[in-house]
């Protein structure tokens, strides 16, 4: 199952090869040891300590949080709470960090701390490479980021690339070689880059980003946990389980992105509500992916639909593997599409609270992904043998609509309509 990265992505089987990182993650303890030695040599580039004569930058290590029960990756002996409650605790933590930042520097637009002579070019090259990857694999989103300030768009590119690399570990051409141990090593590498010890060029851009914006490490950890779920789980008993999966692999992206995209200075909304809307967009996008890819996933032996709701509709895995569109299936799909649209509606309310320059790519993602649901309906709910997609003409028509909406004052925005 592909991750819905909030951005409109063109999948490409050569992505892992261009990143050139899968082998290094597989190579055992050598990765961790070489990572530490390489990063120690480069650590001065990404020093999080405050510089004299400048405003203090946030130390990325200061937001390295302990493993506590409120985190999403919970253990079996914890008191049972719903997935939404677990995720909401992560939302509250990230919102608190951003609220503190807004209180101390309400007009903050971060300029990355690249003061050391000789290193400016290296880090600039790292960000440029992230931009190239984003431009190649997420063309629509990349176009929207060009409206952001240079600092914000480079940071978003860096986050995009990290998410993409993480997804490729279990969903790319080398996925068959990835083990839980490899994901553990990838998480160890994450911990290093959050403490200013990047392993490679692309990690360096992320390390610099999290040192300059109040981005919490937990959503990154949770995305890796989502990859672990894909390795060990192919069924979901109920929507509570599926919600947690959707959060891990896609909702996390919203929580990573809001601190960089920024909340509009004139916004009266609480940071919690803005993060909650960003989370909703990730959930909506991933639910849409799931509904679009039912047939494709079934051919891989996977069913990403709530088992209890299938049973209530008089359906089972056998019906999905048979791939026949029946009245029961149509009724079931209508209810699933309705739920996804509810998450899109919730997400839309939060886009208006973002920094004006950051709204266009988010509106474009929301509008285009929501149209995939329309295409499923247009295919008479046949997502077994027909892949719902938004054609190029509709994509091009949606972009100016999304752009226009990003310019309309918050108080005057009507609901988005179908294109």
If DSSP codes are grouped into helix, strand and coil, which group holds residue 395?
helix
pLDDT of residue 138: 87
pLDDT in tens, 225-278: 999 999 999 999 999 999 999 999 999 999 999 999 999 999 999 999 999 999
Q: What is the DSSP letter of 7?
A: S
Can you give the pLDDT at residue 40?
40
C-beta of residue 67 within 8 angstroms of C-beta of residue 221: no
Residue 89: predicted pLDDT: 85
> Token digits for 100?
């503190």
pLDDT in tens, 36-94: 333 443 333 333 433 434 333 333 333 333 333 334 444 444 456 788 888 888 888 87
Rounded to an integer, what distance in angstroms lies between the CA atom of residue 243 and that of residue 115?
43
Q: Is pLDDT of 389 > 60?
A: yes
The answer to whether residues 292 and 281 touch, using CB atoms and an 8 Å cutoff, is no
Least confident stretch, 78-92, 124-138, 316-330, 402-416? 402-416
Question: Between vectors from CA 303 to CA 295 and to CA 4, what angle results, nearest 5°?
Answer: 80
Instruction: Say yes or no to pLDDT of 168 above 50.
Output: yes
């Amino acid at each position: 199952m592909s991750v819905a990265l909030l951005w409109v992505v063109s999948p490409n089987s050569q992505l892992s090869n261009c990143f050139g990182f899968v082998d290094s993650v597989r190579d055992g303890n050598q990765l961790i040891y070489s990572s530490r030695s390489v990063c120690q040599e480069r650590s001065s580039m990404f020093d999080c300590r405050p510089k004299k004569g400048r405003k203090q930058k946030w130390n990325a290590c200061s937001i390295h949080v302990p493993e506590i029960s409120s985190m999403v990756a919970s253990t079996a002996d914890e008191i049972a709470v719903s997935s939404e409650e677990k995720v909401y605790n992560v939302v509250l933590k990230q919102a608190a960090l951003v609220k503190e930042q807004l209180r101390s520097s309400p007009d903050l637009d971060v300029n990355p701390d690249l003061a050391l002579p000789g290193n400016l070019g290296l880090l600039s090259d790292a960000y440029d490479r992230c931009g190239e990857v984003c431009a190649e694999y997420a063309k629509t989103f990349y176009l929207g980021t060009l409206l952001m300030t240079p600092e914000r768009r480079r940071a978003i590119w860096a986050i995009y690339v990290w998410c993409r690399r993480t997804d490729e570990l279990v969903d790319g051409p080398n996925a068959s070689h990835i083990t839980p141990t490899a994901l553990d090593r990838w998480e160890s590498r994450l911990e290093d880059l959050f403490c200013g010890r990047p392993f490679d060029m692309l990690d360096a851009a992320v390390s610099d980003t999290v040192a300059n914006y109040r981005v919490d490490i937990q959503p990154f950890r949770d995305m890796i946990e989502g990859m672990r779920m894909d390795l060990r789980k192919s069924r979901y008993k109920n929507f509570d389980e599926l919600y947690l999966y959707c959060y891990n692999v896609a909702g996390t992206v919203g929580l990573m992105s809001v601190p960089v995209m920024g909340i509009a200075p004139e916004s009266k909304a609480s940071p919690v509500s803005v993060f909650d809307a960003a989370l909703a967009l990730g959930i909506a996008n991933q639910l849409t992916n799931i509904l679009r890819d039912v047939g494709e996933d079934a051919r891989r032996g996977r069913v990403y639909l709530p088992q209890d709701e299938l049973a209530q509709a008089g359906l089972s895995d056998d019906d999905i593997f048979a791939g026949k569109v029946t009245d029961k299936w149509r009724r079931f799909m209508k209810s699933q599409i309705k739920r996804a649209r509810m998450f899109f509606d919730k997400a839309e309310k939060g886009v208006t609270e973002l920094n004006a320059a950051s709204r266009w790519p988010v509106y474009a993602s929301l509008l285009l992904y929501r149209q995939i649901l329309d295409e499923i309906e247009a295919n008479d709910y046949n997502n077994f043998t027909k892949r719902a997609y938004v054609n190029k003409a509709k994509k091009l028509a949606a972009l100016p609509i999304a752009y226009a909406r990003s310019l309309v004052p918050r108080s005057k925005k009507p609901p988005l309509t179908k294109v």
